[in-house]
Amino acid sequence: MPVCFDVNMRPAIWRDRTTARAACAPILDAATLLKLSLDDARSLLDLPDEPEADDVFRALAGVPANSIVLTDGARGSWYSNRIAGVFSAPVFVPSFRIEAVEPTGAGDAFLAAIIARLIDRSWEPLELDDVRYASAAGALTTTRAGAIDSLPSKSEIDVFLHEHTD
């Protein structure tokens, strides 16, 4: 059974970082897909205040996940797949330029889209199109208010991608 872990380090929820890290450790060890933001990675991995994506992927080199996705909001995202026991070089995926209304739910839409794509492809390694699809889902979500009402349908994502081809 694939395990997808979307790290959400919320300081108001945890007594301290040590407790949060201890709670996350067994899930990190079981995750098939690991998704985290640059901010979450900084807290979880005790990285410098302004870590680079390479710092995060280096710190996560020992996790057994098949794929890692690192998001950084409007600045874009990166992904890496475990191939022959080693993670590939992180691939940067630029974000889509949109007029954002509210960011609530964008990360959830992003992860749901990644999972949908992985299910459709029998959990094969992530590809650039998968992460672009997820980025489109996240971008569309920010153009509408509300956490649930803002989530786009597959057809809306497909239209958005068609309108935003390079």
Interatomic CA distance for residues 166 and 164, integer angstroms = 6
Nearest to 2 by CA among 31, 39, 24, 34: 31
- pLDDT at site 27: 94
Q: What is the pLDDT of residue 79?
A: 97
Query: Can you tell me which residue has the tokens 């407790």?
Result: 19
Q: Give me the catalytic one of 29, 46, 49, 108.
A: 108
pLDDT of residue 90: 96
pLDDT at residue 166 in the model: 62
Fold of the 4-163 domain = UDP-N-acetylmuramoyl-L-alanine:D-glutamate ligase (3.40.1190)
Residue-range domain boundaries for the chain = 4-163
Task: Note the pLDDT of residue 145.
Answer: 84
The tens digit of pLDDT for each residue in 48-70 reads: 778 889 999 999 999 999 999 99
Rounded Cα distance, 154 and 45, in Å: 34
Segments in the chain below pLDDT 50: none
Q: What is the pTM of this model?
A: 0.91
Is there a catalytic annotation at residue 108? yes
